[in-house]
Copies of this chain bind each other. A is one copy, B any other.
Amino acid sequence: MIYLDNAATSWPKPDSVWNEVVRVGKQCGANPGRAGHQMAIDAGRVIYGARVALARLLNLPDPLRVVFTANATEALNLALLGLLNPGDHVLTTSLEHNSVVRPLRVLQDQGVQVTFLSGDNYGVVCPADLKQHWRKNTRALVFSHGSNVTGVLQDALALCRQAKELGLTVIIDVAQTAGTQEIDVAGWGVDLLAFPGHKGLFGPQGTGGLWVGPEISLRPLRFGGTGSQSESEQQPAVLPDRFESGTPNTPGIAGLAAGVAFIEQTGRENIEEHESRLTRLLWEGLAPIPGVTLYGPPGTTPRAAVISLTIEGLETSEVGFMLDKVFEIGVRTGLHCAPLAHRKNGTLASGTVRISPGYFNTTADIRAVIAAIEQLAGEAKQNT
């Protein structure tokens, strides 16, 4: 099958990822940080190595402030539920995923005020929007770096600068950009960075994390054994232990480190360039097809490797079904867990067909999906 659903999870992973998962599981499968024997120490080293690799890739000043989570959703919940208090005001965008929107709705019920900035036609927010909607109780700005529906990118550096001037804590969701786009936590001044391990970072599913800046104090989402300060019935204050209660996903985190190593060997810029080229090709091939509507900014604008479309006369689920059954092409259809973003681009009722290339896709894959969409759109036109 031609897999074009990399915005959900990258596939395939580099072989080195699975090799490392198995090597660590078989050779250092003890519980890291919880015993002094050699295999437990080896397991602890594997996890520390993953923190260091991520710190290098994302320019994080301190590896011990990388908190591993099960996915980016958990990381965003830890950031939002751990930081905000009743009476706080938070700024966000109209492009957020449910991993931001749903915790914010829960916080709203507890008295947190939320402003969804609508931004320009594509949902892009500018620094002036922050200034305009700033209030005395505005505590934080949270936004996704790249939209999982249209691929549109926010100008993270400009938003961070303005937010810092306003004294806001900056939370960025890099689910669609980590590993592909440039991310510079120290340079931008990001306070909390939530990333999935299993998308652009090529780790296995079940991995993700939150960078917690040195000025940030959070309530944990869960409490329990950390292998440290075991005599205390209180959660330790030291990071990362404070937020990592329970046995960590050692083999998964080892696989994530192998994924980051693959990116370093390949060159992040080369991955970005390859995915950009495929995405541009895709846009250029799809745009002229009669009956096809593309969403988000023009094909020449830099974006994450995500293109959303609808075909006149066809439900998105029908398109997905035909692509799968007839053409053996895997894409995602529907709402992509982001109702706000669909409302913004007018596809809340229909959803979209989302095509998301990854590093292992080829020009031939892109030609195949363009040809398939062309055929489906043509047949739909004849039937109407």
How many residues on A have C-beta within 8 angstroms of the other chain's C-beta atoms? 90
Q: Report whether A8 and B31 are in contact in the complex, using a CB–CB cutoff of 8 Å.
A: yes
Q: Name the segment of A21-29, A83-91, A262-270, A282-290 touching the other chain.
A: A21-29
Q: Given the complex, which residues of B lie within 8 Å of A36, measured CB to CB? A: 317, 320-321, 324, 332-333
Q: What is the CA–CA distance of A235 and B73 in the complex, to the nearest angstrom? A: 13
Contact of A205 among B12, B31, B74 (CB under 8 A): B31
Q: Given the complex, which residues of B lie within 8 Å of A317, measured CB to CB? A: 36
Q: Report whether A225 and B337 are in contact in the complex, using a CB–CB cutoff of 8 Å.
A: yes
Contact of A330 among B38, B81, B328 (CB under 8 A): B38
Q: Report whether A37 and B330 are in contact in the complex, using a CB–CB cutoff of 8 Å.
A: yes
User: A13 interface residue, CB < 8 Å from B?
Assistant: yes
Q: In angstroms, how far is the closest chain B Cβ from the Cβ of A318?
A: 10
User: A63 interface residue, CB < 8 Å from B?
Assistant: no
Interface readout for A88-124 with B: 1 if CB under 8 Å, 0 if not? Answer: 0000000001111111011000000000000000000
List A residues 3-23 near B (Cβ within 8 Å): 3, 5, 8-9, 11-13, 17-18, 21-22
Q: Report whether A206 and B252 are in contact in the complex, using a CB–CB cutoff of 8 Å.
A: yes
Q: Report whether A205 and B251 are in contact in the complex, using a CB–CB cutoff of 8 Å.
A: yes
Q: What is the CA–CA distance of A18 and B12 in the complex, to the nearest angstrom? A: 17
Q: Report whether A249 and B29 are in contact in the complex, using a CB–CB cutoff of 8 Å.
A: no
Tallying the copies of this chain within the complex gives 2
Q: Report whether A247 and B198 are in contact in the complex, using a CB–CB cutoff of 8 Å.
A: yes
Q: Which residue of B lies closest to A316 (CB)?
A: B36
Q: Which residue of B lies closest to A109 (CB)?
A: B234
Q: Report whether B97 and A204 are in contact in the complex, using a CB–CB cutoff of 8 Å.
A: no
User: A335 interface residue, CB < 8 Å from B?
Assistant: yes
A–B Cβ pairs within 8 angstroms, 21 of them: A3-B39, A5-B31, A5-B37, A8-B247, A12-B26, A18-B22, A18-B25, A35-B333, A36-B332, A37-B329, A71-B247, A73-B222, A73-B225, A99-B245, A100-B224, A106-B223, A208-B246, A224-B337, A230-B334, A231-B339, A231-B348
Residues of A whose CB lies within 8 Å of any CB of B are 1, 3, 5, 8-9, 11-13, 17-18, 21-22, 25-26, 29-31, 34-40, 69-74, 76-77, 81, 97-103, 105-106, 196, 198, 204-208, 221-227, 230-235, 245-252, 317, 320-321, 323-324, 328-340, 342, 348
Given A74-B222, A204-B251, A249-B252; 14 other pairs, CB 8 A cutoff: A5-B40, A25-B204, A31-B205, A36-B317, A36-B320, A38-B328, A39-B330, A73-B225, A73-B247, A103-B224, A105-B233, A198-B247, A230-B334, A230-B335
